[in-house]
Structure 1
Amino acid sequence: MPVRKVRPGPRLVTAALCATLALVGYMKVSPEDSAPAAAPGPRPAAAKNAGPAAAPGSPGSAAFGAGAPPGVGPVTRTRIPDGTSQALVVTGGSHETNVATAVLYERDDAGRWHRAAGPWSAHNALRGWATEHWADDLRTPIGVFRLGDAGGRLPDPGALLPYDQSEEFASPGTGFLGEPLEGSFDYVVAIDYNRTPGTTPLDKERPLGQERGGGVWIHVDHGGPTQACVSLPADAMRRLLRTLNPAREPVIVMGPAAEIAR
């Protein structure tokens, strides 16, 4: 097992987007506001794009063939790095849905993908998904993004990724449905959307500009939609942290099933 290190890195009182809401609670949304926003525009050139999931069978059982995990189409497949052998596939029903399913797949030496963990229930952003994500659009970016940095309010549960424990991951307040956010950031994995890889998830640098959003994480589910993050049950987060291996170049493939099946 590689030696883990905690990087000091710059910090926010709490990270942007998902984490910013922890101090004040999610904004109140009227029925009109909660309606789906306009259809997402063209994909941003700077961000990799998406892929799906589903998958029967028990973890580590059936192989799904070479090439890509189940549901990931040929276009999306080209965006998965050649060296990647772990992929968390998060699939939503449509561009407007905020509930999803997450499955962790691993590729063996023969190039065949196997289900390693899941499926897990998941939430994404209130208004669903976006091929072009902007700050405060209440959508989760569609794409294929690297996973390389982790952290949380609680001690390292045995993560293979670098892990930054900090009280700055505290998450008071309430979510869009009035649910408490406490504990949401006990464990997080940073999604490499508009961030500098190799830094704490609390890092506020935004290479694409603040207007393109940031602070998009995988974190503990609080029972409702997020602002832009993906959330999983606490036991799934612990399992994920103990499984994601930087040597395997893990990625998240996320978006509506039809989009990532392209």
Structure 2
Amino acid sequence: MIQRRTAVALLASPLLLTGCGGGAEATERRTPPTPDARTTTPDVQAEQAPPGIPGLGPTRSAAIPGRCGQAVVVTGRGKNSPLCTVVLYERTATGWQAGTAWPAHNALHGWSAHHLLDDLRSPLGVYTLSDAGGLLPDPGSKLPYHQSSGFRSPGTGFEGEPLDGCFDYVLAVDYNRRPGTSPLDWTRPLGPERGGGVWLHVDHGGPTHGCVSVAKAPMKELLRTLDPDRHPVVVMGYADWLAG
């Protein structure tokens, strides 16, 4: 994404999300003792929790709220790499089911646990996805969609590629922003120095200032699939961090 001069931040300043985690739960049924039995052997049945999201360690998994039914997982190639992969996972009765893996870009210099304005790094974290918008008409978004000419994106990217059309569709990542508003709302709860305007948007063929970008077709699919009733989040970071 291309960051505005006025900055933003999300998810409650990397909003601290409480989570659902997964482990095995053991339940016991004990046979009441009889006069002839000094001890009994418990019949232990282990109920396995549904499988978690591949690549996420216990800390990242625990940061996903229990009510969350959709998680967009952005997996970077490395801490300082601008290349990543985006996968939409949906929670089912048997665990998290993966969708298509889409190639994508993140910020030019990779990732940061303390994102700052113009550091050219994407913020690590688990953030809610509350609002969408774009230059083009609503393609059928389930999230609130704000169409505006303010999403025009003139100029060129870091590799000389044209930026025109990269904000045709956007999803606001709730990092240092006020959820429930247009992605163009520049309110920065953490202060402007912490950056903001972090979006999922249409890929322009090169690194971003801090956003994550995928091709236009996947963006339309995300807009049509992400459902506020399922409390979607984005889990974003490089692979080693996600595994923590």
| Whole-angstrom CA distance in 1 between matches of 2:62 and 2:83 | 26
| 1:11 alignment partner in structure 2 | none
| 1:223 alignment partner in structure 2 | 205
Structure-2-length-normalised TM-score: 0.82
The one-letter code sitting in structure 1 at the alignment partner of 2:14 is A
Percent identical among aligned pairs is 56
| 1:79 alignment partner in structure 2 | 63
1:157 and 2:124 equivalent? Answer: no
For the residue of structure 2 that corresponds to 1:202, the secondary structure is coil
1:47 and 2:29 equivalent? Answer: no
| Whole-angstrom CA distance in 2 between matches of 1:74 and 1:191 | 22
| Whole-angstrom CA distance in 2 between matches of 1:206 and 1:120 | 30
| Whole-angstrom CA distance in 1 between matches of 2:203 and 2:13 | 28
The CA deviation at 1:46 is 3.6
The CA deviation at 1:77 is 1.0
* RMSD over aligned Cα atoms: 1.9
The one-letter code sitting in structure 1 at the alignment partner of 2:96 is W
The CA deviation at 1:118 is 1.8
| Whole-angstrom CA distance in 2 between matches of 1:161 and 1:170 | 21
Runs of 5+ consecutive residues of structure 1 not aligned to the other structure? 1-16, 22-43, 51-64
1:1-262 pair list within 5 angstroms? 18-20=2-4, 46-48=13-15, 66=50, 68-108=52-92, 110=93, 112-115=95-98, 117-262=99-244
| 2:46 alignment partner in structure 1 | none
| Whole-angstrom CA distance in 2 between matches of 1:45 and 1:20 | 19
State how many pairs are aligned: 208
Q: Which consecutive segments of 4 or more residues in structure 1 shift more than 4 A?
A: none
Which structure shows the higher strand fraction?
2
The one-letter code sitting in structure 2 at the alignment partner of 1:165 is Q
The CA deviation at 1:48 is 4.5
Runs of 5+ consecutive residues of structure 2 not aligned to the other structure? 6-10, 18-48
Contact 2:134 2:170 in 1 (8 A): yes
The structure having more radius of gyration, on CA atoms, is 2
Cα deviations across residues 71-122 of structure 1 (Å, max 9, x unaligned)?
A: 11100111111100100001011110000011000001x251001x320000
| Whole-angstrom CA distance in 1 between matches of 2:71 and 2:194 | 24
For the residue of structure 2 that corresponds to 1:183, the secondary structure is coil
Judged with a 3 Å threshold, the aligned counterparts in structure 2 of structure 1 residues 90 and 208 are, in CA distance, closer, same or farther, namely: same
| 1:59 alignment partner in structure 2 | none
Structure-1-length-normalised TM-score: 0.76
| Whole-angstrom CA distance in 2 between matches of 1:45 and 1:104 | 22
